[in-house]
Structure 1
């Protein structure tokens, strides 16, 4: 469990609410695209060193494409963040403009996670969060590292906010 001082500035914690988990999509989910960008940069540098004249100038094309590819991939990775507190689940997207979706744990009806075979080998997957009265997933956390663990944390905290069978009998 993490302390309240670790909560991102865009998360508003109520008194006594604690940060449970915070993370970004797995780097492994964007690693291939990032590596392609780095390879393009390396090829461009190699061509620039080995050749002269017009070909040396043309080496700027793969360098530019590589910088663009790696840069966009990194920005997309950093623009998504997930937060689980003892009371809510948050998903933030965007860097310049920001979109924050939060769902209170007491509104969550069901959670599940999925992993394809490659995602399972690479250790990431997707968590679907459903609330009562809706037809589909209300919130999907994509490319979450170790989704089984994170889904387990959500389930553990859901159990803390849902009334237990003994509590229901006493209030009825």
Structure 2
């Protein structure tokens, strides 16, 4: 199993999409990339902790290639937006990839380079070493499935889920 830690806006969207893919064994929402120990959602939302909302995606590379996990990441959000995604504004919503080792760093850089062929303008995705990982509160785990009628889920997460279902159909779990 391989785990990638990725941040691209609100973690609810990343969580929702990755849970639909074959070979993904676990998705955990959490916080990383900051300087505060044991951050919680309220403190991260202030933008003063330095943490990003992120997901730890654990997957089986014999079922879904690492390159697909990373290409999905760059399809899910606009990696040209600095410290924001749409109406979600602040460093906690930055585009970032947190690597566990030099091999992951190389994979992340290659994925960023592939993505630059599709995105006009400069990609601002941060590629940094993974530091402490803090699991988000339980109500953030699998938020989309638990709250399908919630406004943000309908307006923001659902279109992203549908986009990935269409673009990466061969890797989507049967409904």
Q: The TM-score by the shorter chain falls in which range?
A: under 0.3
Greater Rg over alpha carbons, structure: 1
Task: Specify which structure has the bigger relative contact order, considering alpha-carbon pairs within 8 angstroms and separated by 6 or more residues.
Answer: 2
More helix by share: 1
TM-score with structure 2 setting the length:
0.26
TM-score with structure 1 setting the length:
0.26
